Amino acid sequence: GFDIGKLRAQTGLVTLDSGFGNTSSCKSAITYLDGEQGILRYRGYPIEQLAERGSFIETAYLLINGELPTVDELAAFRGEISRHTMLHEDIKRFFDGFPTDAHPMAMLTSVVSALSTFYQDSHNPFDERQRHISTIRLLAKLPTIAAYAYKKAMGHPVVYPRNDLGYVENFLRMTFSVPAEDYDLDPVVVNALDKLLILHADHEQNCSTSTVRLVGSSQANLFVSISAGINALWGPLHGGANAAVLEMLEGIQADGGDVDAFIRRVKNKEQGVRLMGFGHRVYKSFDPRAKIIKEAAHDVLSALGKSDELLDIALKLEEHALSDDYFVSRNLYPNVDFYTGLIYRAMGFPTSMFTVLFALGRLPGWIAQWHEMINDPTTRIGRPRQVYTGVVERDYRPVEQR
């Protein structure tokens, strides 16, 4: 067959594909995505079925192991995770050292990276047992780290994990309970968050996942590979969009709720003004996750008895954009982030935590992709080429002669 490697060696041929719009970086059997038809499946299972009937923790198992767990396998997986939720007490000192207004995403990525100092046995990615234990540690500890980051921002003491609780319940309790007081877990919130985490759990070779793979391709350990993914996720064009959507809605509200005026600014392409939560590199008809989340937003807000003027603004924006040629002709539809922020807000999370919640959801996908990359014998270090446009050659002159 056709061998691009051979052709490149013979001709010096390289392709230039800005943003990797048409370039596959790997083969993968984890997530199937059809952007034209709005289809998303994890290991063949439609996202709608997993969100409706599955749980986040079994979705994590599915993504990482390739199959849904049996009753026994699920119990063992849950049990193993619950034995690793504690953070080393010295990790608390990291939080003491961060400034009080530190962004939770910055704390998350720093502490995940620092896990590699506490678990130095993780440094060989080819040791299968260590890969497994690093996976369990990350899944178990990321909610604890996220809750500590929240507590730091609030100036409250941390709440230790309680391992008789489910994954999401434990995270909510560590986040919102105050020591010495009981915390009532609301099943509406638990179920909605579980569903949102499922919907975020993988999305094939997006920016953060490609980052995890690229860093991992150098055989760096799992902790630092995931930390790199968290950094990539933070940007407003990726996971940071959920926070940016809320800031946009608040901005429109502060300007008297004038949706038309805002749409005009977007269409005039004012610098930095985009309809956040709209558009997607791959989905060109609709984002199947957004469909499910829009319904969930209504359900959660009404179940929690919260009316939110921002939801009304969001609905108006969506209605307006979907009938406007600017957005229609560019295939711009609401993406996963358009409605999530409203749900997180109704649950009581501050905007700065929104992207952290995305990271909690995406973690199993990142881990699954990292394992797939390490296990693939055809993996080579990721090393893109370039088209050089600089000066061809010139001679050095000492500083006093310049």
Give residues in contact with ligand ACO (CB under 6 A).
19, 237-239, 241, 266, 274-281, 330, 332, 335-337
How many CB atoms are closer than 10 A to CB 10? 9
Q: Which is nearer to ligand ACO, 140 or 310 (CB)?
A: 310
Answer yes or no: are the C-beta atoms of 303 and 190 closer than 8 Å. no
**290: nearest Cα among 280, 302, 305, 303:** 280
* Cβ neighbours for 222, distance < 8 A, ≥ 6 positions apart: 122, 125, 131, 134, 135, 138, 216, 367, 370
Say which of 103, 238, 280, 371 is annotated catalytic: 280
Q: What are phi and psi of 31, to 5 degrees?
A: -125, 130
Answer yes or no: are the C-beta atoms of 327 and 264 closer than 8 Å. no
User: What gap in Å lies between CA 139 and CA 284, rounded to an integer?
Assistant: 32
Q: Smallest distance from the beta carbon of 239 to ligand ACO, in angstroms?
A: 6
Q: Which is nearer to ligand ACO, 190 or 317 (CB)?
A: 317
Q: Smallest distance from the beta carbon of 367 to ligand ACO, in angstroms?
A: 18
Q: Which is nearer to ligand ACO, 155 or 272 (CB)?
A: 272
Q: Which is nearer to ligand ACO, 161 or 240 (CB)?
A: 240
* Cβ neighbours for 173, distance < 8 A, ≥ 6 positions apart: 159, 162, 165, 183, 185
Q: Smallest distance from the beta carbon of 244 to ligand ACO, in angstroms?
A: 7
**Is 280 noted as a catalytic residue in this protein?**
yes
Amino acid 201 reads A
Question: Is residue 348 left, alpha or beta, with left meaning phi > 0 and alpha meaning psi from -120 to 50?
Answer: left
Q: Smallest distance from the beta carbon of 263 to ligand ACO, in angstroms?
A: 9
Q: Which is nearer to ligand ACO, 119 or 349 (CB)?
A: 349
Q: Smallest distance from the beta carbon of 204 to ligand ACO, in angstroms?
A: 12
Q: Which is nearer to ligand ACO, 277 or 288 (CB)?
A: 277
* Cβ neighbours for 107, distance < 8 A, ≥ 6 positions apart: 94, 95, 98, 145, 148, 149, 152
Q: Which is nearer to ligand ACO, 192 or 290 (CB)?
A: 290
* Cβ neighbours for 259, distance < 8 A, ≥ 6 positions apart: 252, 313, 316, 317, 320
Q: Smallest distance from the beta carbon of 40 to ligand ACO, in angstroms?
A: 12
Cα-trace Rg, the chain: 23
Q: Smallest distance from the beta carbon of 11 to ligand ACO, in angstroms?
A: 30
DSSP letters spanning 136-179: HHHHHHHHHHHHHHHHHHHTPPP----TTS-HHHHHHHHHH--T
Q: How far is CA 196 from the centre of its chain?
A: 11
Answer yes or no: are the C-beta atoms of 281 and 36 closer than 8 Å. no
Say which of 337, 371, 376, 395 is annotated catalytic: 337
**Is 337 noted as a catalytic residue in this protein?**
yes
- Strand-pairing partners, residue 278, are 334
Q: Which residues are catalytic?
A: 280, 337
